[in-house]
A and B are shown apart, each in its own frame.
Chain A
Amino acid sequence: NAGVTQTPKFQVLKTGQSMTLQCAQDMNHNSMYWYRQDPGMGLRLIYYSASEGTTDKGEVPNGYNVSRLNKREFSLRLESAAPSQTSVYFCASTGRSFNSPLHFGNGTRLTVT
């Protein structure tokens, strides 16, 4: 069972470069999320998608864009990377009921120099 798959696992960018983080889930989940995890700050929600075709801002959306390509895939794009975006990024998904547990991918460790 693949669950939630994220690519790449690691990435180093220079300031100003762009990149897209990919996420796919095979559990037929409706809702998908992008979080960033920073030491001492816990997980913070960047963007989420309640269903195919919809996206909404979370707690820290500035500097990011997202695309819900289909039910399976939810990508996160950094248009012009900044050192403040150095973090570990996690994609997650959950089923129709919000009493369903959240499933996470293994993360992308991004460093912006």
Chain B
Amino acid sequence: KQEVTQIPAALSVPEGENLVLNCSFTDSAIYNLQWFRQDPGKGLTSLLLIQSSQREQTSGRLNASLDKSSGRSTLYIAASQPGDSATYLCAVRRGSYNTDKLIFGTGTRLQVFP
């Protein structure tokens, strides 16, 4: 059974720091991995999606990497800002069939203070 873990559960950093959020999964046979951002009282917003054949994806100050063999993904946030404060979740998809579902981690709550 696929399990997705995110450590740490919470992180507080000063503005301007580069930081790394971690996501681990137990079954390396995945189809893709997504990183999401969730603001309080809101839904999830997709940040980056990495297909199983890819090593990384970049969007602005965000870079996500994927190492399937070790069951790990990292989300790198460069030059963090207070507006980056949110909960970040990762989710893995096992396959491309309709019956395959996303398995979510419980998230890392990030606070960036001025």
For B, the interface residue count at a CB cutoff of 8 angstroms equals 26
Using Cβ atoms and an 8 Å threshold, which residues of chain B touch A90? 43-44
Is B96 a contact partner of A98 (Cβ separation < 8 A)? yes
Is A99 a contact partner of B44 (Cβ separation < 8 A)? no
Interface of chain A, helix or strand or loop or mixed? loop
Is B43 a contact partner of A104 (Cβ separation < 8 A)? yes
Residue in contact with B101 in the complex, picked from A45, A100, A101, CB distance below 8 Å: A45
Mask, B67-100, CB within 8 Å of A = 1, is 0000000000000000000000101010010111
Residues of A within 8 A of B (CB): 4, 31, 40-43, 45, 48, 50, 56, 58-59, 90, 92, 98-107
Residues of B within 8 A of A (CB): 4, 31-32, 34, 36, 41-46, 49, 51, 89, 91, 93, 96, 98-102, 104-107
